[in-house]
Structure formats: structure tokens, C-alpha cells
Structure 1
Amino acid sequence: MNRKALARAYKESRRPMGVFCVRNLETGEALIGRSVDLPSILNRERLTLRMGGHPNRRLQQDWNALGADAFVIEVLDTLAWPENTPDFNPSDDLVLLEAMWRERMQPNGQGSYATRAITARA
């Protein structure tokens, strides 16, 4: 395959979607979010934290103080693309999946960096 064909195939491929987490291993605090493109959001979270420009200031301060080794950035759950449904809109399913993980990891709302849902779009 030539370079253009590879780029087109990549752009047309369906990316894994689901819920992710940036967790502070020392304090247990976590930022939980959802995305229709998990690989991209994980890269963006790592990059913005490394560059010192994460929108969540408290998370960025802890990252700066404790270092990257004190954090784990991971996929918590994925949502499968339904077969033969090109008009599928995963928004409601992702919101529900994220809410389930928030309740599971932070049942009383404590231990969370997020003051709002973090959503990434493709």
C-alpha cells in the first residue's frame, strides 16, 4: 500500500471508544472521562500533563509535584461499535458507562479531580 492509501485506511478505521482514567497512585484521586477515540485522548492526557498545560489545575499541580511515576493513565472500559450501523451515535452509551465508572470508583464523589465530565471527540 502506498502512503495515501495507508492514511485513508487509518482515517476510515473505527477507533476504540470508552472510558479512561488518570489516577494518582499516592492519593487515590482520579480523573475519569469518556471518548470516542481512546488512543487519542490517552495521548492527549499524557502530552498535556508532560507539557504542563492540563486544564485540570489540581491534577497538573499534583503531576508536577509527584512526577509521572505517581500516576497511571488507563482504559477502564470499552464500548463496541455495533455491526452494520453506520449512523450509530455512542454519546448516550458513553455517558452511562462513564457514570457507572464514576460511581464504582468514587461512590460519594470524593477522591475526584474532575469537576465536570471530560469528553473527547474524534
Structure 2
Amino acid sequence: MSLAPAPAPAPATVPDSTSAAARRAISRQARDAFPPMGIWAIRTGERVLVSSSRNVVGAINRARFELRLGSHTDRALQAEWRRRGDSFVFEVLALVKQREDPAFDYASELRELEQLYRDELAATGAAP
């Protein structure tokens, strides 16, 4: 008796029977969703780089892309990537929650959180 591997689950897609109006509503909902903003880091064997972004996922993807392409603006980081890029860890440290107040200053919140994480890393001896 041979055991065949289980078939892979079908990818999540919008069914063909979904109307154009429903597809537009799904698209609008995705576009209007609160972006994942927060603090993220690149951990190498030697140091930790901390940054903030209004789009954490996009910032991490951009950093990876630039490193793979060889065009990252931090030349020391780029050189380290060439030596040992497989040991890099990209992680989200904190996300900012959406506030009810439309005048809330997210940029200020991100700056304060980033400084808090930098101070914490400096206190533990990790080089930011």
C-alpha cells in the first residue's frame, strides 16, 4: 500500500461568480485598510539596525530587494550582506494601532517608538 501525498490546498482567490460590484468593494476595502505602520529591524551577526515606517511590510521588502540587487544606501550593510546575507533577520518590532482621532500624529508616534527601541538596544549593548 503506497501513501500518496495529500493534494495541495487550492489558493485563495475571488470566485468567478463574484459580481463586478463585489470585486470593487473588496478592492476598495483593501485600499482603505489601515496600513501596517511601526518599527522594524534588520539583525545581522554584528549589529541591529532599527527603523520606522508608515508601511512596515513595504519597507522590509524594499530593504531586502536593495540588498539582493546590491544597491542599498548603507554600504557597510551591503558589504556584510555580500559576506553573510543568509544570516540576516528582518523583523517587525512593534506596530502602531489605529486611533479614533483623525488628527493623531502617527509620524511623531513612530519617531518616539523608534527612539525608545534604539535606547533599549543601546542599554543591552546591541549596536544600533
TM range (shorter): 0.7 to 0.9
**Take 1:89 and 1:6, find their aligned partners in 2: how far apart are those partners?**
28
| Structure having the larger proportion of residues in strand | 1
TM-score normalised over the length of structure 1: 0.77
Q: Could you say which residue in structure 2 is the equivalent of 1:71?
A: 88
How many angstroms does 1:86 deviate by? 2.6
Q: Which runs of 4+ in 1 moved over 4 A?
A: none
Amino acid at match of 1:12: D
Q: Which has the higher contact order (CA 8 A, sep 6+)?
A: 1
**Take 1:14 and 1:34, find their aligned partners in 2: how far apart are those partners?**
16
Equivalent pairs counted in the alignment come to: 107
| Equivalent position to 1:90, from 103, 106, 121 | 106
Structure showing greater radius of gyration is 2
Amino acid at match of 1:81: Q
Amino acid at match of 2:108: D
Stretches of structure 2 that go unaligned for 5 or more consecutive residues are 1-21
TM-score normalised over the length of structure 2: 0.74
Stretches of structure 1 that go unaligned for 5 or more consecutive residues are 113-122
Deviations 1:94-116 (A, max 9, x none): 1110001001112398723xxxx
